[in-house]
Structure 1
Amino acid sequence: MALQPTTSRTSLPPGPRLPPTIQAALMLKFGPRFVAACRQRYGSTFTLRVASMGTLVYLTDPGDIKTVFSGDPRIYHAGEANSMLKGLLGDTSVLVIDDDVHRDRRRLMLAPFARDAVARQVPVIAEIAADNIAGWPVGVTFPVAPKMSEITLEVILRTVIGASDPARLAALREVMPRVLSVGPWATLAITNPKLMRRRPWHKVRDAIAEADRLLYAEIADRRADPDLAHRTDALAMLIQAGDSGAAAVPDIAAGAAPMSDRELRDQLMTLLVAGHDTTATGLSWALERLTRNPAILTRAVRAARDGDDDYLDAVVKETLRIRPVVFDVGRVLKEPVELAGHLLPAGVMVIPGMVLVHASDAIYPQADRFDPDRMVGATLSPSTYLPFGGGNRRCLGATFATVEFRVVLAEILRRVELATTDKPAERRRLKHVIFVPHRGAQVRVRARSAVAEGPAHQAPSCPVGGTSS
């Protein structure tokens, strides 16, 4: 719990005294193990000093986490914590802005991710998944992560951006993986955009420029579409947001200023980055966990065939608990704040320790056990279950991502028979800010299943639920 300030002297919790470059290397190579070791040695709150990120104070007490998520957004800046992404997302992205600007932008972006809007996209998501699964090899072990990425990218291109022109859709399919799957070398240019002027980073610059050209073309087409008011894609709804579209688009406050082309581009890029690899990785982890738990896999297959969305939702929730996709979420303090018995100085980044909280036996008994039953009918606290962040920055696409996760998983389990394995669990490898299976989630399809085509998916129930927007 936050305490009333008793001193004017700021202080930091204990933490390792290793140089910031060494701590950065440990975070990149051994993220979960490194923070778990710090938790064990220094207690529930500890300080890290990480090169390129600064001073980080990890919080694992649910009371402290609640204080951060419910804190004044003028003091707790999440956009500033994500500022390293500006080179890719743009400086008007909902992920990198704060204060009233963020509040107003987020309000404009809520409508496409409301429950009814998401429900309208379920048939398209199922169709995209089914088409992809039809091409999976039988009897051959293969990494399923690339297939998941293909599915989630196609979902975003068709339901969020609304791309329909065949040539442009093909161009977007080609360029977006080059933009979104950047390695450590390219990441340097994203965090420091001036580097893109130099030859080693020209490929990064050119890929982003080509993606921008295609996104601006989609924006222009949508603005000119005489049937704009009847379209269901997120881009069409965002264009209508503001004075002229308030009546046509529910949940958008009248009087809000419409977004410019640049602002629309930045939000589309944000949705691509935040909603592509994250959902694909969650699906990959679900298959990695299910194939190592035969009884749970059998039950999940039965649920998929019977339309038991409650159990499938439990599989989704438990996957995101035991294998959180996003490493952690942060807030930069704009003034001193008292947390966990310390008056933390301004400029420090406080981090609700998602990985540590989700792995706590005190909160989740036998936390290292994959057990969807613990999620069936469970009431989850936003300070102990936080795969989508929390507070006013909770991922605005959480409902869309959770429904997409469940629908795609159901299509997989209905259409193919997955072989189980007794191989060791795949390690978590940090890729940018997400944890991916280090071998790409290897699976083997034993056979295809006969599927009775029809309305297999109901409208989404109210699901729960990486970077905070």
Structure 2
Amino acid sequence: MPMPPSPSMSPREQTFGWMTRPYELLARCRQEVGDVFTIDFRGHGQYVLFSDPEHIHQILTGDPAVFHAANGLLEPFLGAHSLLLLEEERHKRERRLMMPHFSRRQIHGWGDQIEEVADRMIDGWRVGEEMPMRETAQSVALGLIDRLVFGLDGEANHDRHDALHRCFDEILSHPHFNIALIGQFGERLAGSPAWQQLQESLAEMDRLVREEIAERRATGRRGDDIMSLLMDAEYEDGESLSDDELRDELVTLLATGHETTATSLAWAVHWVWSHPPVLERLRAELATLGPDASPSQIAELDYLQSVVLETLRINPVVPIIARELQEPVQIAGYELPAGVTVAPVIYLLHRREDLYDEPGQFRPSRFLERDYKHNEFMPFGGGVRRCLGMHLALYELQILLARIATRVELRLCDEEEVRPVRRMVTIAPSGGVRFEVERVGA
């Protein structure tokens, strides 16, 4: 049986589109071919992409022994022991170990710390100052990781973590990093000065994280931070995480935690401040709580939740979820062979007109009017590999957005249209969403 149809573009055009403007590529493919189509990525073979909720449900709830995560490209960055790369029993074991530390109860205990970091960011803004929200939010997200993952006080001047922040920025903003994620293209760069610089940054990141682990082991320092919890956690057989496992999970938390939060907050500011009625309604809801509301009370606000969910619907940070077939599977009437990568497309799912009225419009109230099923709205993936930090990400976004809306008058000042561009595996706003501060309140 033949594979699902492909778009008229050449494999080279498909790969280049995926690396540079993935949203445009995906939309063009569905318009040209339909809900199921095949893309040929140079260096990584054929991907079969799906945007029908039932097909997506079949993939994400299928046998984990058959549907493996296709995240191998990230191994040089995250490490072989990262939860994102583990499979079957190893994945299940590691996830079971980590899950209690990302429960709603655990996360809501961090609300005051999240709010404090948000206020410190805002206190540093000056009237008339112009800056990009994504880069500003990245600094805040890294500050949150310092607090929540490593237990550092926000005022601490920690040279190692300053250096680690610089390393991450150098890696994620490196012009060859996205290309390095595409097999044949990355191989062609090996040996070049820019490639060597990227490898040096990766090695420095590894050294800094391992230094932190060694220091904690030597001093026995512990707190209520995630690193302490993971160091003390034990599997069912009494074993604990090795240094290699701990290193890979910490790098994964650093990479996924700060990049996704910063990007989503930038998109939220772009959409909310581009729609004055949304901002007005959001501020009116926040005003009902009064100045002494706790972070947990703020996070329970219905419209605030809807604004965050609509942001993640219209601009999912990660556009697809990839699974590599370990044996033949029939999906959507196609008999797909082992070795093929199947990929639910979150971006296209969230733009379906049969699920979302006027899907291209930013309309948070849609989440007050209808409850969407797991296979209809999935900014954090689904099934046994759904993002472990989902509740933390939502909580951070709600508190950060609420503090900005409550304390700051700002004006968006991008001269060109803000469009989605690739940054590592995430899709960020071009220009970072530039804004000018007009007033900062208490």
Count of aligned residue pairs for this structure pair? 427
Kindly report which structure 2 residues correspond to 1:57-96, keeping only aligned pairs within 5 A, or say none. 57-78=48-69, 81-96=70-85
Residues 314, 256 of structure 1: alpha-carbon distance in 2 compared, 3 angstrom cutoff: farther
- 1:140 and 1:380 mapped to 2: Cα distance? 40
Bigger mean CA offset, 18-27 vs 327-336: 18-27
What displacement does 1:199 show? 4.2
Match of residue 246, structure 2, among 240, 264, 271: 264
Q: Deviations over 1:251-306 (max 9, x none)?
A: xxx32531101110000101111111111000000000011100101122233344
- 1:256 and 1:346 mapped to 2: Cα distance? 36
Bigger mean CA offset, 155-164 vs 39-48: 155-164
TM-score scaled by length of structure 1: 0.85
Residues 446, 36 of structure 1: alpha-carbon distance in 2 compared, 3 angstrom cutoff: same
Residues 53, 133 of structure 1: alpha-carbon distance in 2 compared, 3 angstrom cutoff: farther
Kindly report which structure 2 residues correspond to 1:363-374, keeping only aligned pairs within 5 A, or say none. 363-374=355-366
Amino acid at match of 1:221: E
The residue that corresponds to 1:123 in the other structure is: 112
Amino acid at match of 1:275: G
What displacement does 1:143 show? 1.6
Match of residue 142, structure 1, among 101, 112, 131: 131
Contact kept, 8 Å, 2:172 with 2:424, in 1: the verdict is no
- 2:234 and 2:324 mapped to 1: Cα distance? 30
Contact kept, 8 Å, 2:114 with 2:144, in 1: the verdict is yes
The residue that corresponds to 1:183 in the other structure is: 175
| Residue 219 (structure 1) aligned with residue 213 (structure 2) | yes
TM-score scaled by length of structure 2: 0.90
Amino acid at match of 2:277: A
Q: Deviations over 1:38-91 (max 9, x none)?
A: 21222211111111332111111111111011100000011xx11001111111
Residues 102, 195 of structure 1: alpha-carbon distance in 2 compared, 3 angstrom cutoff: farther
Structure 1 counterpart SS, 2:249: helix
- 1:413 and 1:160 mapped to 2: Cα distance? 27
Amino acid at match of 2:338: A
- 2:371 and 2:333 mapped to 1: Cα distance? 29
The residue that corresponds to 2:22 in the other structure is: 31
Q: Unaligned stretches of 5+ in structure 2? A: 290-297
- 2:77 and 2:5 mapped to 1: Cα distance? 35
Contact kept, 8 Å, 1:336 with 1:344, in 2: the verdict is yes
The residue that corresponds to 1:247 in the other structure is: none
- 1:168 and 1:31 mapped to 2: Cα distance? 35
What displacement does 1:424 show? 7.0
Residues 388, 124 of structure 1: alpha-carbon distance in 2 compared, 3 angstrom cutoff: same
Amino acid at match of 2:92: R
Match of residue 290, structure 1, among 272, 276, 301: 272
Residues 190, 88 of structure 1: alpha-carbon distance in 2 compared, 3 angstrom cutoff: farther
Amino acid at match of 1:108: L
Q: Unaligned stretches of 5+ in structure 1? A: 1-9, 244-253, 452-469
Structure 2 counterpart SS, 1:439: helix
Structure 2 counterpart SS, 1:365: coil
Residues 200, 189 of structure 1: alpha-carbon distance in 2 compared, 3 angstrom cutoff: farther
Q: Deviations over 1:185-207 (max 9, x none)?
A: 57528966997776432322222
Contact kept, 8 Å, 1:335 with 1:346, in 2: the verdict is yes
Contact kept, 8 Å, 1:163 with 1:218, in 2: the verdict is no
Identity of aligned residues (%): 36
